[in-house]
Structure 1
Amino acid sequence: MPELPEVEVTRLSFASRIAGARIEFVMVGKPLRWPLGCEGAQLHGQQVLAVRRRGKYLLLDLSEGLLLMHLGMSGSLSFGANLPAPGKHDHFDLVTSLGTLRLHDSRRFGAVVYAAGEADAAAQKLLGRLGAEPLSEAFDALVFHQWLNVRNTAIKPLLLAGHAVVGVGNIYASEALFLAGIRPTTRASRISKPRAALLHHAIQTVLTNAVAKGGSTLRDFSNADGEAGHFQLDAMVYDRAGLPCKVCAAPIKSIRQGQRSTFYCAICQKA
């Protein structure tokens, strides 16, 4: 699944090029996860003002309202002036004066939703319960520790839930916990203030590095220019079960937590 770095990399790859474009036509293919929420013709003539990100959602600010886009499990966006005709798994085209923004999604778990504004019920249903943005000042280390201190669940699934901090998906949660030296099964309430500060910093460091490396391409992720990411090549623990730890040479372990694979080093992450 594209995680926060992949969504941010996607945003950066087309945001400046589509800004100021006027929508000329909207093509909606097979049904996606949620309906568009308006007739495509309602968007014709509107201007794309900017592209923002909230968690794993891309927000296209329009002259009237906004579009919320989610890549689902395997979706990707492409943007260009001369895209080929839509294929079998191309389910949404936003044709503009500066090029076409296309959602490709073989599993159709992605979505494009129109809302009158960010305070609109349609937008709040998707965004209203998201945690703090990890790469912003809203992600405060002290508040983060206070939130962890009253929760007795394991730290790894708690990070994935996105209530305290948004967008720390499976790959980057494993990597951040390794960097902070915290075992993924440790209960959140047992994490001291200094160790919570380490984890806070590790989350920001890992996500920042992932964005700089173009995200992670494990199967078919690419940005809006068709470029793959390379963060997975530098992963310390993720998808390295049985391989030697890059720090201590102990074999990396793998367990299941909440139906997701978790990777860690039993030596470097003692508790």
Structure 2
Amino acid sequence: MTLEILTSDLLAPLRHGFFTRKGGASSGVFSGLNCGRGSSDQTEAVLINRARVAGAMGAEPDALVSLNQVHSADVITAESARDAAPDADAVVTATPGLVLAILTADCQPVLFADHKAGVIGAAHAGWRGALDGVLENTLQAMETLGAHRDDTVAVIGPSISQAAYEVGPEFFDNFMTEDPENSRFFAGGGGDRMMFDLPAFGLHRLRQAGIGQAQWTRHCTYSDPARFFSYRRSVHAGEADYGRLIATIRL
């Protein structure tokens, strides 16, 4: 089956993509293009999937720069591919040929580019990372490589939408403690529950940081099981594990 790759005019002509689950070698709950090496999927299937992604990016599998994502605001700068995946949730580079890769399954995959400076970035921005500043830190790391944030664009890929993201009062309090105006990203739910708009919050943080342009692809991971993996959907279905989507960009 052919890979399905979502792209954005903001990032073109750079090679990039938000890959759906279509076209992979995995089966069962991981059926499709599961690229999560930390999942309980068969290692061989995951390696095949990652090789297909690298091929779609015009690169060898060892050119993929991956992270051990820990829901932090930490960013690394990549100058070469490495065997060990460092603990971080974003990566930037000005090195042609490297393929920056981010894994998600409801959290925001965010791809960045300053076309003029030749600097790119990729971030994993769940609610914790976004609240703690991973998006702003990515822009700062890109600036150390020569990027200018008003020339930088960012695209948020498939993420869980507000209609599917029910949260409790403790979650809400985390955002109110930082800024009472964050209440705009919450809508009423049943009882003491609320619905959180993660992509809107991500766009807000990017625009507040002074980025040139930012957009969301408007794909909800939870509501489209044929195309996307979703951690929350897997929990609701009582599944033992879940696949991970991959988003990539290269100079």
TM-score scaled by length of structure 1: 0.25
Q: Which has the higher relative contact order, 1 or 2, with Cα contacts under 8 A spaced 6 or more apart?
A: 2
TM-score scaled by length of structure 2: 0.26
